[in-house]
Amino acid sequence: MKESLGTIIKEARKKHNLSQNALATIINTTQQSIANWEKDKNKPDVSILPMLCQELDIDFNEIKKEYYNKKNFFDKNIKIIKKILIILLVSICIILPIMSMVLIINRNKVNVYYASIDSSDIIMSEFVFIETSDEYILKPGVISSEIDEGCNVLIYYEDKDTRERKQINEYKCNYNPFVMQKKEDTLYFGRNFDINDDIFISIYFDNNKDVFYNYKLNFRKLYSYEKIFDSSLGAYY
C-alpha cells in the first residue's frame, strides 16, 4: 500500500534527526503546519515543496506527480465538495425565502420633504412632510410674523382631480401639532392625496379674522431611501 505524503515527510524528517520546530525554521514555516502535513490534514503548498524535498532528500518530481495530480486530488475530495455544495444549496433554499419575507414586511420607503413659503412678512421654518409606504406625517413649521399678534394657521390642499379644498389642520402659530395618518384612512389626507397636489397655508389673526394671508407651500425633497420607520417612536432604524 502506498504510503501517505504525511508518512513520507515524517519518516524523512526523523531520518535527518530534525524536530518539527527545526524543520519549520529551515523552510520558514510553522511547527503546526508540519504537524498537520504529517497527520495528512493538509499538504505543503507547491511553492514550499521544492525546499522541503531538498532538506529531506525526497524526490520532488515523484512527490509532485504522485501527490499533487489535480485529478487524483479532486477524486479524493469530491465527496467532501458534494457535501459542501448540498449544505450550501439547502441553506440558500431555507434562508432566502425567510430573508425575502422579512425584507418585504419591514421595508418602508421614506420620502422626506422640506416646505417653505415666498413671503417677506411671514417667517416659517422647520415645516417637514414625511411619506412612508403606509403613512403621512406632517410636522408644521414654526411661524412668526411682525404683522400682528394672535397668529392662527390653516393648512389645506386642493384635490388634483376635483380641485376641492380639503382641510388638513388648523392651529395656533405657537402650537404646531403633528399630523399623522395611515394611508388607508381619510381623516386629514384623501385616498388620492399626492405631495404634488397644491398644499396651502392660510394665516389669520385673532383681532382681524377677515384678513387672510394665503401661501402655497413649496416642497423640496431632502432625501429618499428605504429604511424601517417606527412612527410610534418617531425614530428611524
Q: Which sign does the torsion angle of CA 164, 168, 170, 172 carry? A: negative
State which residues of the chain have pLDDT below 70.
1, 69-79, 91, 94-108, 145-149, 176, 197, 209, 225-237
Do 59 and 171 fall into the same domain?
no
Look at residue 225 in the predicted model and tell me its pLDDT.
65
Alpha carbon distance 11, 14 (integer Å): 5
- Residue by residue, DSSP assigns 152-169 as EEEEEEE-TTT--EEEEE
How does pLDDT run across 192-220, given as a tens digit for each residue?
Answer: 777 776 788 888 887 776 777 888 888 88
For residue 102, is it within any domain?
no
Cell numbers found for residue 169: 389642520
Position 13 scores a pLDDT of 92
The C-alpha cell that represents 225 in the structure block: 431611501
> CB–CB of 29/48 below 8 Å?
yes
Number of domains in the chain: 2
Residue 117 belongs to a domain: yes
pTM here is 0.47
C-beta separation of 118 from 134 below 8 A: no
Distances (CA, A) of 65 to 7, 49, 52, 60, 73: 17, 12, 15, 9, 11
62-67-73-77 Cα dihedral, nearest 10 degrees: 160
Residue 103 lies in a domain: no
User: 99 — phi, psi (to 5°)?
Assistant: -65, -40
Q: Nearest 5 degrees, angle CA 150-CA 218-CA 164? A: 80
**Same-domain status, 63 and 115:** no
Q: Reduced to 3 states, what is the DSSP secondary structure of residue 138?
A: strand
Neighbours of 1 (CB within 10 A): 3
Q: What residue numbers bound the domain in which 14 lies? A: 5-68
Residue owning grid cell 495528512: 40
What pLDDT, on the 0 to 100 scale, is given for residue 79?
Answer: 64
The answer to whether position 100 is within a domain reads no
pLDDT at residue 235, as a whole number: 46
Do residues 156 and 202 lie in contact, with contact meaning Cβ atoms separated by under 8 Å?
yes
Contact 152/213 with Cβ under 8 angstroms?
no
**pLDDT value for 147:** 55
The pLDDT value given to residue 228: 46
Is residue 82 one of the residues assigned to a domain? no
Residues 139, 211, single domain; the answer is yes
Q: Of 68, 95, 123, which residue constitutes the final position of a domain?
A: 68
